[in-house]
């Protein structure tokens, strides 16, 4: 029973990070999740997690489709037509500042001790309901500031990158507020933040009072 519980925990945690853990009870995943696979033509295909969440289906290659018209050139991200930005991350868990926009960065990086350990991380989107791995905004001219109770800024502002991701490794106080600035406009989070893993709450569905994705003002 203990081994089964551990295997399920590892599988569910890895699925949240855009991957899947291999355990002694098989591949566990979240229904509908996708993973990259190799095709005979040396191109990449896509395997889709079964409805039962106990493994991935066959590799879809060479124009084969399934579950929403996914083809071998999908690369493992969401269909770009469903993303407001019309682009998506397809690099799986390859290390990059652009990786897995929309997913809870700190939660995932905590499980990979050799990866950067962030104190604040998130993604700013053009659409409030964009799916995980959809690229966010082009962050040129967009920054994130962190505020004390009196409204003063705690440290230097953080630049948002080309897919909407932002991250910080510097120590942060127990609570603070967040402000997003772009082209002379700003939006301020009124509720103090106590967890810097922004995408945990600012998911596509929204959680713990968040209405959805973090948005450009």
- For position 170, which CATH number holds? 2.60.40
Dmax (CA) for the chain in angstroms is 61
The torsion angles phi and psi of 123, rounded to 5 degrees, stand at -140, 135
Strand pairing partners for 147?
153, 177
pLDDT digits (tens, 9 = 90+) for 51-109: 666 677 777 665 433 343 333 333 457 888 889 999 999 888 788 999 999 999 998 88
Report yes or no on 83 lying in a domain.
no
Tens digits of residue pLDDT in 17-30: 444 333 333 467 77
| 51: containing domain | 2-76
Q: Which of 13-17, 155-159, 199-203 has the lowest mean pLDDT?
A: 13-17
DSSP 211: -
Residue 197 to residue 202: CA distance in whole angstroms: 9
pLDDT in tens, 140-196: 999 999 999 899 999 899 999 999 999 999 999 999 999 999 999 999 998 899 999
Same domain flag for 36 and 116: no
Separation between Cα atoms, residue 120 and residue 105, nearest integer Å = 9
Is the pLDDT higher at 54 or at 132?
A: 132
Q: Are residues 58 and 147 in the same domain?
A: no
Element (H, E) at 109: helix 105-110
With contact defined as beta carbons under 8 Å apart, do 212 and 137 qualify? no
Task: Give pTM, 2 decimals.
Answer: 0.67
- Same-domain status, 134 and 206: yes
Distance of alpha carbon 14 from the chain centroid: 12
Contact 21, 13 (CB under 8 A): yes
The phi and psi torsions of 81 (rounded to 5 degrees) equal: -65, -25
Asked if residue 93 belongs to a domain, the reply is: no
């Amino acid at each position: 029973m203990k081994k089964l519980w551990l295997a399920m925990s590892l599988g569910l945690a890895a699925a949240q990070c855009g991957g899947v853990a291999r355990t002694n009870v098989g591949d566990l995943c979240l229904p509908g999740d996708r993973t990259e696979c190799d095709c005979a033509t040396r191109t990449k295909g896509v395997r889709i997690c079964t409805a039962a969440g106990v493994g991935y289906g066959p590799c879809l290659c060479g124009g084969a489709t399934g579950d929403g018209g996914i083809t071998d050139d999908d690369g493992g991200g969401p269909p770009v037509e469903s993303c407001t930005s019309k682009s998506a991350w397809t690099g799986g868990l390859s290390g990059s500042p652009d990786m897995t926009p929309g997913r809870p960065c700190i939660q995932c990086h905590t499980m990979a001790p050799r990866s950067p350990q962030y104190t604040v991380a998130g993604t700013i989107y053009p659409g409030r309901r964009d799916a995980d791995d959809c690229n966010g905004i082009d962050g040129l001219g967009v920054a994130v500031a962190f505020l004390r109770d009196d409204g003063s800024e705690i440290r230097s502002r953080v630049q948002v990158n080309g897919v909407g991701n932002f991250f910080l490794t510097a120590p942060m106080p127990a609570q603070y507020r967040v402000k997003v600035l772009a082209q002379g406009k700003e939006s301020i989070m009124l509720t103090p933040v106590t967890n810097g893993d922004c995408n945990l709450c600012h998911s596509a569905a929204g959680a713990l009072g968040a209405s959805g994705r973090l948005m450009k003002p």
